[in-house]
Structure 1
Amino acid sequence: MTGQALGLVSEFLLDLYRLQEPSEVLSTVDRYARRLAPCDLLVPALTDRPSGRVTLAGVPPAFADGYARHAAEDRARTAHLRPRHAGAVRLSEVVPAPVLHRSAIWSEVLRPHRIRHVMTTCLGENPRVTGVLKMIRLDAGRDFSDAERDTLALAAPHVRLAYANAEAMRHLAAAAGRFEAVCDRIAEGALLVTPAGRVLYRNARAQALCARYFGPAARRGPAGGAALPDALRPLL
């Protein structure tokens, strides 16, 4: 790997681990992957594990429907998980061209949509969904090189972890929103306070009471470690 490519991977990973939304991870991967291994399309492919149903994002319906019908023929969809491929694999590595050109996925999906070269890398895997990213080159251009594959393989575990982290953050944010909604339905004021007297959370009723008796600085929701009003400290 060249120093320039290594520097770009380092920049990519620094950006990646700052993200808290799965959609942001995908857009960042798209931006950097096109610089690390130029391609015409970068397509997330998600497999619902209980049903086996495959969906593609950001492609024409005819392409998505055709791929879903023949996804079982796409050996690269799971080959990237094997240790010998270490996180990224070219379609040409797992299916020889003569075999590919006799397949239904070639005649009904790849050839009609001018897809000639595909590299698959990991996006994520959990009990519900297996996700991969398909990097696609159209028409008669060259296949992905060994160096491009190895660079993407180096980044693949980090993409997988960053995507899992972002999904976890999204679930935590949703849970926090539900907690807040429940607390706001309570008729009494509710404060979450540390033993040292720092306010971590207040519901809507507590906000109103604190604003009424202790001034307008009180805020609903996470309080950023604000101090409990002195008049309430004896209650600890």
Structure 2
Amino acid sequence: MAVSLFDQFMSPTYMGIPLLTLALTLPWLLFPSPSARWLNNRLLTAQGWFINRFTQQILLPLNLRGHSWALILTSLMIFLITLNILGLLPYTFTPTTQLSLNLGLAVPLWLATVLIGVRNQPTAALGHLLPEGTPTPLIPILIIIEAISLLIRPLALGVRLTANLTAGHLLMQLTSTAAFVLTPIMPPAAILTAALLLMLTLLEIAVAMIQAYVFVLLLSLYLQESI
């Protein structure tokens, strides 16, 4: 039973071709691009309003140097939200439940923020490893602790996104299985379970958007420390 539950998180293949590539490409095809040949519709207007509001929110704590990351952070936010929400549809695959993909996104971006800090302000970047006023006997221990906390940041980014989506998907599958099993046996209990499944679905949609926002927000905070 446990194996069948976790089968949904395996990377599917069709005729030996991994479908992960298709799942990563599909979100970009769903967003309409504005054209000079036709007027903006409601979808384009809402899309532009959301992107502008999100960009303002993300760039608020950043100085002018960090504004050059606006395109990367906004694109990553929209990409993660679309992947997470599309994974809630039946017979679909959620790439962000794969730790390898999340780490593949987190590690290069985190490393870029670290390298930017070392290049622009090396003294301040190294100063984060040792708080001011530290007693001399504690200096080696604190340097090791701060270095570990710095190196664990990309792992925390990837594991947070993977764990939240995996837990939500598992809970939804367990609840839906219980609803199907209880339908011929106890119809009232099946109705209550189906109502619970509906609420879990709404909660998982919110979690999908919130986790994508948290992923990008933490990256912006790491960037703020380096510029």
Asked if Structure 1 and Structure 2 have the same fold, meaning a TM-score greater than 0.5 normalized by the shorter chain, the answer is no
Larger Rg: 1
Structure showing the higher helix proportion among its residues: 2
Structure showing the higher strand proportion among its residues: 1
Give the TM-score taking structure 1 as reference length: 0.28
Structure with the larger RCO, 1 or 2 (CA within 8 Å, 6+ apart): 2
